[in-house]
Amino acid sequence: MHGVTAPERRYVITFGCPDRTGIIARISGFLAEHGGWIVEAAYHTDPDTGWFFTRQVVRADSLPFAADELRARFAEVAAELSAESSWQVSDTGERRRAVILVSKAGHCLYDLLGRVASGELDVEVAAVIGNHDSLADITRAHGIPFHHVPFPPGDKAAAFEQVRKLVDEHDPHAVVLARFMQILPADLCREWAGRAINIHHSFLPSFIGAKPYHQAHTRGVKLVGATCHYVTADLDAGPIIEQDVIRVDHGDSVEDMVRKGRDIEKVTLARGLRWHLENRVLVHGNRTVVF
């Protein structure tokens, strides 16, 4: 068998600042000055906000210093261009970590675990936390710790505090709400801002409440979709990372629609998580630029 070649190590710079002339020249000039070999570059200017965005990928072996030194030196460029806190340097040589939160529905968890096990999704799932224990066996079968945290109706604050401790001990790059049917409190939304990712079906706000697929079937909808977004205190209204749809027709039963809805949720969540882990998503206000 031939050995598997490790992917080339790269540094990823994501950056946002007020738009002006000379930004690209300043960034590329800084990298060229140190021998930086750019292998990917993407740019976007939002005319509504006057904000400039870029994602630059540089071969790590082309620079004479490591990621920490790159961050320290690039901070001067970021300050000069008024980027404030909206810039980041990540190292593909440092494997990303995720913690997954679940309830009873397992389709998103099964999909993510399968992608990780096959090597398709390069992330370490440090733990799975569930407010039910239905998905404990499949999680442990993948060699991943499962933590059951019950959510009694009268004491959810204590349960969320336990979840917070379990998540924070891993300091994950992503907290994935894989059909986790509990509403994160505002303090956790703030603490995990830009890291907590949720998936929900596209029937909100049209079909609110119980049995949305039954409501949609009665209405005769022709598309079922899913939205992957960052979690904020505004329920299901955070910055959108990815959306997709699948067609249904008059011959589909409610069960068919539910199955198709689960299919599109799985794909959309996996795609959004991948883009997040690869630092392709830049958030500005309640909107995103996805490179």
CA gap 184, 163 in Å, rounded? 10
What kind and span of H or E run contains 46? strand 38-46
The neighbour count for residue 235, using CB atoms within 10 Å, is: 13
Question: Which tokens belong to 39?
Answer: 């292998």
The residue written with tokens 């996805």 in the block is 290
Question: Which tokens belong to 89?
Answer: 């340097």
With beta carbons less than 8 A apart as the criterion, state whether 228 and 241 touch: yes
- Which residues have C-beta within 8 Å of that of residue 50, sequence separation ≥ 6? 18, 19
With beta carbons less than 8 A apart as the criterion, state whether 41 and 10 touch: no
Please tell me which residue in 236, 252, 256, 263 is annotated as part of the active site.
236
User: By C-alpha distance, which of 252, 104, 118, 117 is closest to 181?
Assistant: 104
CA gap 228, 240 in Å, rounded? 6
CA gap 208, 201 in Å, rounded? 11
Question: Active-site residue 249, yes or no?
Answer: no
Radius of gyration of the chain, Cα coordinates, nearest whole angstrom = 21
- Catalytic positions are 236
